Amino acid sequence: MITAIDVIRVEEHAKGRMLYSVRASTVAGRIDLPIAILEQGSPTLDEAAVLRSTLEFAEQLTASVRTRLGQSPAAR
């Protein structure tokens, strides 16, 4: 069971690249997924870009898992 999902700013790289980590914490441990974006002009816009990327990843992961389980991607 996942107890928390957090978006954490990790570091800045050259040429406006920002690296974030999406951290899913569970009772068994944690998983960190790195997400790199181009700097968007403000911390709020950066976070919005990271959240959009995270949501897209989650949607693709959900569709892939449903397919592996033999469910249609639209099934809930």
Asked whether residue 32 is assigned to any structural domain, the reply reads yes
pTM of the model: 0.66
Asked whether residue 75 is assigned to any structural domain, the reply reads no
Mean pLDDT on 59-67:
88
% of the chain beyond a pLDDT of 90: 1
- What's the chain's length in residues? 76
For the chain, the domain total comes to 1
Partners of 23 in beta bridges? 6, 32
pLDDT band at 67 (very low <50, low <70, confident <90, very high): very high
Asked whether residue 13 is assigned to any structural domain, the reply reads yes
> What is the pLDDT, as a whole number, of residue 6?
85
Domain with 24 in it: 2-68
Asked whether residue 74 is assigned to any structural domain, the reply reads no
